[in-house]
Amino acid sequence: MDLKGRDFLTLLDYTPAEIGYLLDLAAELKAKKKAGVLHDVLRGKNVALIFEKTSTRTRCSFEVAAHDLGMGTTYLDPSGSQIGKKESIADTAQVLGGMFDGIEYRGYGQAIVEELARYAPVPVWNGLTNEFHPTQILADFLTLREQFGRLEGLKFVYMGDARYNMGNSLMIGCAKMGLHFTACAPKAYWPEAQLVEKCRAIAAETGATIDFSEDVDAVAGADAVYTDVWVSMGEPEEVWAQRIADLAPYQVNAALMAKAGPQAVFMHCLPAYHDHKTQVGRTMGEKFGRDAMEVTDEVFTGGQSVVFREAENRMHTIKAVMAATLGAEF
């Protein structure tokens, strides 16, 4: 399948066959990596990594993946780029596009990465925006394929705030690949209606289903139980209090996993506030009298958790995206 020259901005832009191809390629490249088989077929190429929001997994995934493919990387953090400050997005895209073979962007509005892609003469990859996080979903789906041997027909339940990049992108991915998606949260935390309708139209063609519930019993029989952080440190404290009060009943704990059943895996895009061993986790825990937020330490570290395999698979799937869109031949 030829994906050379394509941007990777949202899974809405990719067909189920193309997504499946990227997952197949990721599995192939993971096997090469584990076997110690060099696959540095893109030597001489260079990629720019723009990070307006910092990250551990996304940065390391892009850098290791690029280096494995033989490419050089240049990391631009918020202080290392003039994008949107002294130089327009359009100008930045053309400047970087003249020097690099691909551009990754992780930051704020989806409109920014879309504009970068519009003006850059090279592939642009979305490392995360407020609205979408497509590389994470590839990692999640590779993990599920490894666990269950398939994607189609799996029951996937997302617990918590489904309004933003993770809820949106998981819903799109499930619709594309034939999974049965349920977002379990108070109605105020469900995705916007327009995207839901778009996903239901896709689901009608793939055999997927898109559902929503305020009842935690919706998790019964789930193959995958997924959650994400409830609040971020950039939000005001009054938001923390409301969000935690609203979402506390939807915490992933041992009782909830028991409802799902022994076949279920626990998934999280990380970082997670499952204890007090981080500054953020300790601050929120002490302020609100909680040992954990969206997931308990028992579940996070337990036998059903696949979170660290997901994290590793970020690198393998990102490598597949770069390789495919840059025309690598193995």
Q: How far is CA 286 from CA 30, 235, 270, in A?
A: 41, 17, 21
Find the catalytic residue in 180, 243, 314, 316.
Answer: 314
Helix (H, G, I), strand (E, B) or coil at 16: helix
Find the catalytic residue in 6, 228, 251, 274.
Answer: 228
Q: Is 106 a catalytic residue?
A: yes
Q: Is 269 a catalytic residue?
A: yes
The DSSP element (H or E) to which 48 belongs, if any, is strand 46-51
Find the catalytic residue in 6, 57, 133, 274.
Answer: 133
Q: Token pair for residue 78?
A: 């918020």
- Distance between CA atoms of 47 and 189, rounded to whole angstroms? 36
- Asked if residues 149 and 141 have their Cβ atoms less than 8 Å apart, the reply is no
Q: Which residues contact 59 (CB under 8 A, 6 or more apart)?
A: 49, 51, 75
Residue at token pair 């020259």: 5
- Distance between CA atoms of 280 and 310, rounded to whole angstroms? 22
Torsion of the alpha carbons at 109, 55, 313 and 330, rounded to the nearest 10: 80
Find the catalytic residue in 269, 274, 304, 316.
Answer: 269
Q: Token pair for residue 81?
A: 């780029």
Q: Token pair for residue 300?
A: 């996070």
Terminal C-alpha separation, the chain:
13
Q: How far is CA 284 from CA 101, 169, 246, 281, 293, in A?
A: 42, 27, 15, 5, 8
Q: Rounded to 5 degrees, what are φ and ψ at 210?
A: -125, 115
Find the catalytic residue in 6, 57, 59, 106.
Answer: 106
- Asked if residues 102 and 48 have their Cβ atoms less than 8 Å apart, the reply is yes
Q: Is 145 a catalytic residue?
A: no
Q: Which residues contact 194 (CB under 8 A, 6 or more apart)?
A: none
Find the catalytic residue in 136, 161, 243, 316.
Answer: 136
Q: Is 161 a catalytic residue?
A: no
Q: Is 133 a catalytic residue?
A: yes
Please give the positions annotated as active site.
106, 133, 136, 228, 269, 314
